[in-house]
């Protein structure tokens, strides 16, 4: 069995002399869901079209099962399917549209009908089979598009921002369908998205694309623990509000002065360099300011005053002014225990390994989320569940202490 | 007798001369339309659905064809087919073939231009979606054309309209020879000049009815195409 199903190598693609894609290598493994995450205009959809062999790259090659050229394209056409952001339907009934790909593959009509009915039942759209395609809502249409792709039992399913035009409820339903049905029915999935929650929730691996280049590729945990640049740090929910100067550099360990407070961080920068320091609000550990300093093992400690408190479901988001000024997230019970009201004093700790340092000039990226809550969720480290209850986002491993922990 | 009543009598009584002219018109214009569709539709679709270096000038050239005066087309075809012309040895001048040739040149740009305008409005998403579902290139192209089927019918109707009512070119290259190259439009001119208004009106009525019938038929075809999915 191939360890890599679909590989793009040295892919360059230009439109009108402007390079929109410049990748050394990207591979989709059998059985995995690879999410390609990036802001609008990063070249994500172009990458999908190139990898799906729907568009010829300016240079580079795509291989499917180790083959390239015409045989690979023919093989991929027969063994893949795609769902686009705005799927196109041909006038007629839902059943006709769902079965269209089967007719291209010359599947006998009785077999095709049975498969169309079965997939529509699985996706709970069987009541729409005889409906006119023009009468569907956005969510229904996208499910029909998913059914049309999955009925082909594709070895690779390409999804190009399938939830971008859906409202929150339809988006949640579509994601459930993806997890419940698509991952069983499709061998591998390449998901294009600019929604970090979608990528982090669904994907086995995430490729972050910025300005047509692959910024980082890894599991959610890898991206979370070791973001290679401020953009990816931001994608994984980090705050980038801290600025400082490197006082001392010893390998990857840096001592940074931030507004007069010295913080031990990790990163690469020379002494005297101006840097940005990224942290996640959930990695800050708050304690009573009276706690004896001798009992605290963390190297980074400072005292701050609560300036603002915002309750987010079962969690509380706090703006703390030290210096430095930071944002923290704690559980509601912890906030009550420490009596974290505006003007309350607290001690703030954070592990050096939870502070990632980047040169001040590096771009943070124009990341956009399809849902307004997503940015807040990412910043707060919580995700709204269907029941409305906030839920801790689940990176496989979290550096440092769990969120909201108080010492 | 009233010329109008006489005209109806000529049509209904099955006057041999009148019906020979009518059938010859149908034969020549039908052949020309078919050939113009076979040439103009693929050219229009190819230019409309693709991007290439000299696309702009090509579109301009096709659209210029819309403004071709039929008499000029007739003159050019005449010069080509005349004894001293490059195709003179074919001895096609004053034959139905020459008339078909001229009418194809007149109708072709209409069909190509309307097809081009229709197909360039088809989003590339249609092709991508069809290909992504496993359609071959030809099948994907047909699915793209299906999106603008009513416009394609309009293209054929435009081509038909351009040639069925045309008189200048067919007069020049056909010569209006009875039983050979006389068609309804040239017959109307001749009978009017002769003062035989009943026959001229009779041809006029048949011409209008034919135009109406063909356009209604095309409309019906377009309507049926929009109601029926392509066979699986």
| In the predicted structure, residue A371 carries a pLDDT above the cut 50 | no
pLDDT of residue A129: 94
For the segment A66-71, the average pLDDT, to the nearest whole number, is 91
Q: Look at residue A379 and tell me whether its pLDDT is greater than 60.
A: no
Asked if residues A282 and A379 have their Cβ atoms less than 8 Å apart, the reply is no
> How do residues A317-352 score in pLDDT, each as one tens digit?
999 997 888 999 999 988 888 888 888 898 898 888
B63-92: average pLDDT: 93
| A 148-167 near B (Cβ less than 8 A) | 148-149, 152, 158
Å between A399 CA and nearest CA of chain B: 41
How far does B70 lie from chain A, in Å, by closest CA? Answer: 39
Greater model confidence, A386 or B44: B44
Give, to the nearest 10 degrees, the angle between helix B184-194 and helix B197-227: 160
Would you call B125 and A96 a contact, using CB atoms and an 8 Å cutoff? no
pLDDT of A339? 87
> Which residues 144-203 on chain B approach chain A with CB closer than 8 angstroms?
146-147
pLDDT of res. A53:
95
Q: What is the DSSP string of B94-163?
A: TSHHHHHHHHHHHHHHHHHHHHHHHHTTS-HHHHHHHHHTT--HHHHHHHHHHHTHHHHHHHHHHHHHHH
Would you tell me how many other CB atoms lie within 10 Å of the CB of residue B181? 22
B132 touches chain A (CB under 8 A): yes
Tens digit of each residue's pLDDT (9 = 90 or more) over B108-128:
999 999 999 999 999 999 999
User: Are the beta carbons of B133 and A149 separated by less than 8 Å?
Assistant: yes
Helices (H), A59-163: 69-79, 94-98, 100-104, 109-122, 138-150
pLDDT tens figures, B154-170 = 999 999 999 998 999 99
ipTM of the predicted assembly exceeds 0.90: no
For A99-117, the pLDDT digits (tens) are: 999 999 999 999 999 999 9
Q: What is the pLDDT of residue A121?
A: 92
**pLDDT score, position A240:** 80
What's the pTM value of the predicted model, to 2 decimals? 0.76
Q: Report d(CA A121, CA A335) in Å as an integer.
A: 47
CB atoms under 10 Å from CB of A1, counted, come to 5
Mean pLDDT for the stretch of residues B65-73: 93
Cβ of residue B230 closer than 8 Å to a chain A Cβ: yes
**Shortest Cα distance, chain A CAs vs residue B138, angstroms:** 11
The proportion of chain A whose per-residue pLDDT surpasses 70, expressed as a percent, equals 86
Please report the number of interchain residue pairs, chain A to chain B, with beta-carbon separation below 8 angstroms. 58
DSSP B156-190: HHHHHHHHHT--HHHHHHH---TTTT--HHHHHHH
Distance CA A307, CA A319 (A): 5
Contacts with A88 from chain B: Cβ below 8 Å:
123, 125-126, 129
Binary contact (B125, A49; C-beta < 8 A)? no
What does the pLDDT look like over A277-316, one tens digit per residue? 998 888 888 888 876 555 555 678 888 999 999 988 888 9
């Amino acid at each position: 069995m191939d360890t890599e199903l679909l590989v793009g190598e040295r892919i360059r693609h230009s439109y009108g002399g402007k390079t929109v894609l410049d990748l050394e290598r990207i591979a989709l493994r059998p059985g995995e869901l690879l999410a390609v995450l990036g802001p609008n205009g990063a070249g994500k959809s172009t990458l999908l079209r190139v990898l799906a062999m729907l568009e010829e790259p300016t240079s580079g090659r795509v291989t499917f099962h180790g083959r390239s050229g015409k045989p690979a394209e023919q093989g991929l056409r027969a063994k893949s399917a795609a769902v686009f952001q705005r799927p196109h339907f041909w006038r007629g009934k839902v059943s006709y549209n769902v079965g269209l790909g089967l007719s291209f593959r010359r599947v006998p009509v009785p077999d095709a009908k049975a498969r169309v009915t079965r997939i529509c039942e699985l996706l709970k759209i069987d009541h729409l089979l005889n409906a006119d395609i023009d009468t569907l809502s956005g969510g229904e249409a996208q499910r029909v598009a998913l059914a049309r792709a999955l009925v082909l039992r594709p070895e690779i399913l390409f999804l190009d921002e399938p939830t971008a035009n859906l409202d929150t409820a339809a988006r949640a339903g579509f994601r459930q369908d993806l997890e419940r049905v698509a991952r069983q029915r499709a061998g591998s999935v390449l998901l294009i998205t600019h929604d970090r929650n979608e990528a982090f929730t669904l994907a086995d691996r995430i490729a972050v694309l910025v300005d047509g280049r692959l910024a980082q590729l890894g599991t959610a945990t890898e991206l979370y623990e070791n973001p290679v640049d401020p953009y990816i740090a931001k994608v994984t929910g980090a705050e980038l509000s801290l600025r400082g100067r490197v006082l001392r550099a010893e390998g990857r360990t840096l001592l940074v002065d931030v507004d007069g407070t010295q913080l031990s961080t990790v990163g690469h920068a020379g002494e005297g360099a101006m840097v940005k320091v990224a942290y996640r609000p959930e990695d800050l550990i708050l304690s009573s300011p009276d706690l004896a300093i001798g009992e605290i093992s963390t190297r980074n400690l400072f005292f701050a005053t609560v300036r603002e408190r915002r309750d987010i479901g079962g969690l509380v988001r706090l703006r703390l002014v030290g210096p430095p000024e930071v944002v923290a997230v704690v559980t509601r019970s912890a906030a009550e225990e420490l009596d974290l009201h505006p003007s309350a004093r607290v001690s703030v700790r954070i592990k050096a390994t939870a502070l990632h340092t980047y040169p001040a000039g590096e771009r943070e990226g124009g990341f956009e989320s399809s849902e307004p809550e997503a940015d807040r969720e990412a910043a707060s480290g919580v995700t709204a569940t269907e029941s409305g209850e906030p839920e801790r986002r689940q990176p496989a491993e979290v550096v440092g202490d769990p969120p909201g922990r108080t010492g | 007798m009233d010329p109008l009543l006489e005209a109806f009598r000529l049509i209904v009584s099955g006057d041999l001369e009148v019906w020979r002219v009518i059938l010859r018109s149908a034969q020549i214009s039908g052949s020309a339309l078919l050939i113009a569709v076979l040439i103009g539709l693929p050219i229009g679709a190819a230019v409309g659905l693709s991007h290439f270096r000299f696309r702009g000038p090509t579109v301009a050239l096709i659209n210029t064809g819309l403004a071709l005066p039929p008499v000029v087309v007739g003159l050019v075809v005449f010069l080509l087919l005349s004894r001293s012309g490059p195709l003179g040895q074919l001895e096609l001048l004053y034959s139905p073939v020459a008339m078909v040739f001229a009418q194809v040149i007149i109708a072709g740009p209409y069909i190509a231009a309307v097809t081009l305008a229709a197909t360039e409005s088809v989003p590339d998403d249609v092709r991508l979606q069809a290909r992504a579902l496993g359609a071959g290139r030809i099948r994907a192209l047909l699915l793209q054309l299906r999106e603008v089927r009513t416009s394609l019918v309009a293209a054929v109707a435009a081509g038909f309209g351009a040639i069925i009512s045309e008189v200048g070119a067919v007069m020049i290259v056909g010569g209006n020879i009875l039983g050979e190259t006389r068609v309804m439009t040239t017959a109307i001119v001749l009978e009017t000049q002769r003062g035989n208004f009943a026959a001229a009106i009779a041809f006029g009525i048949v011409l209008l009815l034919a135009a109406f019938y063909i356009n209604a038929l095309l409309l019906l075809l377009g309507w049926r195409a929009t109601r029926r999915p392509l066979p699986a």
